[in-house]
Chain A
Amino acid sequence: TSSISTTFDLKTYWSTLREEINQKLDEAIPVQYPHQIYESMRYSVLAKGAKRAPPVMCVTACELLGGNRLAAFPTACALEMVHAASLIHDDLPCMDDDPSRRGKPSNHTVFGMDMAILAGDALFPLGFRHIVSHTPTNLVPEAQLLRVITEIARAVGSTGMAAGQFVDLEGPPNAVEFVQEKKYGEMGECSAVCGGLLAGASDDEILRLRRYGRAVGILYQVVNDVLEAKSKSKSKSEEEKKGKSYVGVYGVEKAVKVAEDLRAEAKRELEGFEKYGEKVLPLYSFVDYAADRGFSFVDSI
């Protein structure tokens, strides 16, 4: 199945969608009074270099299952908003204490810790509000939108990403699988599932998207760990986090094996979508991208 995706031009597909999503995000957060908070929110949500993987995954899953991409854009934007909120809070001194993200100063470094907390607190509700106010009601039944909102709330909540961040910070030690699954798998899962829900996918299809998205999300992070370990320019702070990465805990060889298993697992789930023909190709190519990183975006870091 790995050859199937070589016929698909993922880079063009992804870049086009990414541009569209960037524009919609820009429109979704106009600066109003008090402008500080909007600038802080925009700083993180519109940061250059963001790949927009969750929204792209959401739009693609929706289209695969016969949904209109216009139905998926508001949810796609919401995924970026809640994701940005989590990252802003994760970077705070009392959490990961990261002064920079994607080569730029973190939100709190620029706007102060109080503003960074409030920007995160404002982005969560903005995401939910954006879904309700912008999703065309003729394209998605209201009951489905409630399921989408529930899915996102769970993904970022106390048993999802917040749980991952908590265990990452407070232990127990060597819970790297749990942390990776919650911090990274959850967003992939949620993105794919939301796309399916917006298209009115069957329960069986939602389940496949769930496992697929989770595997791709974790795969991406495990490969990140491997690439980081292989690059010689490791900074000290990354060294300190050794116990938090697959490579740190299991070594490169095992991590590479885990990545291969995840790649196979993700593709296995896609076999259930063969009936949609070529429309499934983007989802295959996401898996290979997560594993191989075949290209990069012009402005990405």
Chain B
Amino acid sequence: KLQETQLEFQFDFNSYMVEKANLVNQALDDAVSLKEPVMIHESMRYSLLAGGKRVRPMLCIAACELVGGEQTTALPAACAVEMIHTMSLMHDDLPCMDNDDFRRGKPTNHVVYGEDVAVLAGDALLSFSFEHVATATENVAPDRILRAIAELAKCVGAEGLVAGQVVDICSEGADDVGLDQLEFIHLHKTAALLEASVVLGAIMGGGSDEEIEKLRKFARSIGLLFQVVDDILDVTKSSEELGKTAGKDLVVDKTTYPKLLGIEKSREFAEKLNKEAQEQLSEFDHRKAAPLIALADYIAYRQN
């Protein structure tokens, strides 16, 4: 009760993020236990429990609560989107893909467990995410769970996440990448999983079709927003401020929004996307929408 009253006055985004991250971390730890063969499960847990802000699960839970659901109802779906996020990073880091040895300051999965295990553990996380939604979701009618599974599958497959990765790979080194193609990559590579996160949350929470579609638009806008801001930060901030190498995009001559639009127009575009995202939330209960509003602002105004 006390907490609710405080929320009405001021929404504490940091506490909210920490609280949800703790909830999700515990649920992920429980969902993927150490079984035989131990090493493959260790590999799954190594990347899954490596930390991270848990933005996708938070979106899933916030969307569920926004449409009037309980957070526990969305928790299996929230874990599922994080499992898929994790497995896509594991496969992305492989030598035949981006060939990254480190992620978040830790050796990547294949460096620790070998490429074969990293491929298999990624596959296992992918299939388990669907199993987890199917078996662990409580108090939701089977037709809604099936709808959620179909949404998840669409957002992460060849029409979603994978499509973004493919076009990204094919665009490497190309000098004729236009705005449409850049937007396609980001809408699929980044926004699709954010979309799955809020849509699954809204489905599990019992949201109406109209509510689900509003949240879908919200997620697509903040997905794109995230990338535009990322591109701007890369050229305007120092490595020190970013906590990672700045100016990387220029060095590899990557196609970015500043490159295609210039800094000013990119900033305007980011403003427009944030506004579009916020508009989708305007008809919801303002207090319940506070986490999503804060998240969009966080993405728009972050300094690193």
Whether B167 is near chain A, meaning CB under 8 Å from some CB there, is yes
- Asked whether B97 lies within 8 Å of A163 as measured between CB atoms, the reply is no
Give how many A-B residue pairs fall within 8 Å (CB-CB). 157
Contacts of B130 in A (CB 8 A): 125, 128, 149, 153
- Asked whether A153 lies within 8 Å of B169 as measured between CB atoms, the reply is no
Chain B proximity mask over A26-53: 1 for CB below 8 Å, otherwise 0: 0000001110111001000000000000
Q: Which of B67-75, B120-128, B262-270, B293-301 contacts A (4 or more CB under 8 A)?
A: B120-128
Known contacts A113-B96, A118-B165; A126/B134 CB under 8 A: no
- How many residues belonging to B are interface residues under a CB distance threshold of 8 Å? 52
Known contacts A34-B166, A142-B142, A146-B146; A154/B131 CB under 8 A: yes
- Asked whether A38 lies within 8 Å of B158 as measured between CB atoms, the reply is yes
Q: Which of B34-42, B212-220, B224-232, B274-282 contacts A (4 or more CB under 8 A)?
A: B34-42
CA distance A145 to B134 in the complex (A): 9
Whether A165 is near chain B, meaning CB under 8 Å from some CB there, is yes
- Asked whether A89 lies within 8 Å of B120 as measured between CB atoms, the reply is yes
Contacts of A154 in B (CB 8 A): 127, 131
Whether A129 is near chain B, meaning CB under 8 Å from some CB there, is yes
Known contacts A125-B152, A132-B150, A162-B40; A146/B142 CB under 8 A: yes
Q: Which residues of chain B in 162-180 are interfacial with respect to chain A, using CB atoms and an 8 Å cutoff?
A: 162-163, 165-167, 169-170
Q: Which residue from A128, A133, A142, A159 sits with its C-beta under 8 Å from B35? A: A159
Q: Which residue from B94, B117, B121, B127 sits with its C-beta under 8 Å from A124? A: B127
> B94, B124, B163 — which one has the most chain A CB atoms within 10 A of its CB?
B124
Contacts of A118 in B (CB 8 A): 91, 162, 165-166
Chain A residue nearest to B125 in the complex (CB): A158
- Asked whether B158 lies within 8 Å of A122 as measured between CB atoms, the reply is yes
Chain B residue nearest to A118 in the complex (CB): B162
Min CB–CB distance B154 → chain A (angstroms): 6
Q: Which residue from B122, B167, B169 sits with its C-beta under 8 Å from A114? A: B169
Chain B proximity mask over A101-130: 1 for CB below 8 Å, otherwise 0: 000000000001111011011101110110
Chain A residue nearest to B162 in the complex (CB): A122
- Asked whether A95 lies within 8 Å of B150 as measured between CB atoms, the reply is no
Whether A157 is near chain B, meaning CB under 8 Å from some CB there, is yes
Contacts of B127 in A (CB 8 A): 82, 124, 152-154, 156-157, 162
Whether A94 is near chain B, meaning CB under 8 Å from some CB there, is yes
Contacts of A117 in B (CB 8 A): 91, 94, 96-97, 119
Whether A167 is near chain B, meaning CB under 8 Å from some CB there, is yes
Chain B residue nearest to A133 in the complex (CB): B150
Whether A5 is near chain B, meaning CB under 8 Å from some CB there, is no
> A125, A142, A149 — which one has the most chain B CB atoms within 10 A of its CB?
A125
CA distance A32 to B145 in the complex (A): 27
Chain B residue nearest to A159 in the complex (CB): B35
Q: Which residues of chain B in 97-139 are interfacial with respect to chain A, using CB atoms and an 8 Å cutoff?
A: 97, 114-117, 119-124, 126-128, 130-131, 134-135
Whether B289 is near chain A, meaning CB under 8 Å from some CB there, is no
6 contacts between A and B (CB under 8 A): A128-B153, A149-B130, A149-B131, A158-B44, A162-B123, A170-B116
Measuring CB to CB, which residues of chain B are less than 8 angstroms from any residue of chain A? 35-37, 39-41, 44, 87-88, 91, 94, 96-97, 114-117, 119-124, 126-128, 130-131, 134-135, 141-143, 145-147, 149-150, 152-154, 156-159, 162-163, 165-167, 169-170
Contacts A145-B146, A153-B128, A153-B130 given; 8 further ones with Cβ under 8 A?
Answer: A37-B163, A38-B158, A125-B156, A149-B134, A157-B128, A163-B40, A170-B37, A170-B117
